[in-house]
A = this chain, B = another copy of it.
Amino acid sequence: MIDKRYQSAADAVADVPDGASVMIGGFGEAGSPIELIHALIDQGARDLTVISNNTGSGEVGLAALLKAGRVSKVVCSFPRTANSTVFPDLYRSGRIELELVPQGTLAERIRAGGAGIPAFFTPAAVGTPLAEGKESREFDGKEYLMERGLRADFALIKGRRADPYGNVVYSKTARNFGPIMAMAARVAVVQVNEIVEAGMLDPEVVVTPGIFVSRVVGVASPMHESELVAAGATYP
């Protein structure tokens, strides 16, 4: 039998060590695995490198992880959001490092990392400040930058449904970075609203095949960041 189910979010992130690199899914609140992030806060790992498209809002979820001082560096395309004060404060006071990456380059670097591609060329950011220090090269008369594949020790991802083999389907635009982060992480942890039996997910519609997933946790009614922020919630 193959059974990747974990009893709780706490169990599923128990072995994240200090200094780990952690990809965290989500685009804004859609797909943000709040329960896994909160479990990571409880767990206490620090000096983390977080790879995520945003830096969270309010003082819950990803912003709470930052606020708790657990993150030394973020790799990110848009670390500025309405209701976001945690990252700006940390950044301005020099307490966090930022590697700013164009969103499509970030996605492709993650996909490349997961696909065993160590480097690729992209036209994005040519001629901009984000090209500084990067190798550039011409193909067919057009200039491109070389970008490196990106991998991580862990990925925290929110899906909709999974089976014990780790097959995952997502919900609408909450899919975003989940499938590629699952590919690029040594240990991909996925929280889903519902865990179903093997065979209940049509093989034609599985988005993330189980081979990319190490751990599955059921979170029947996940929290939504915007509601928490509107309610003034903080974590812990």
Known contacts A117-B122, A118-B139, A139-B119; is-contact A204 B204 (Cβ 8 Å): no
Residues of B within 8 A of A139 (CB): 118-119, 148
User: How would you classify the secondary structure of chain A's contact residues: helix, strand, loop or mixed?
Assistant: mixed
Binding stretch for chain B, among A72-80, A108-116, A221-229: A108-116
In this assembly, does A197 line the interface, its C-beta being within 8 Å of a C-beta of chain B? no
Residues of A within 8 A of B (CB-CB), count = 24
B117 A108 Cβ-Cβ under 8 A: yes
Within the assembled complex, what's the spacing in Å between the Cα atoms of A112 and B121?
Answer: 10
Known contacts A172-B204, A204-B205, A205-B204; is-contact A120 B122 (Cβ 8 Å): no
B112 A120 Cβ-Cβ under 8 A: yes
Q: Chain A, 133-147, contact with B by CB distance < 8 Å: what is the 0/1 string?
A: 000000110101000
Lowest 7 CB-CB distances: which A-B pairs, in order?
A118-B139, A120-B120, A205-B205, A119-B121, A117-B120, A118-B121, A118-B144
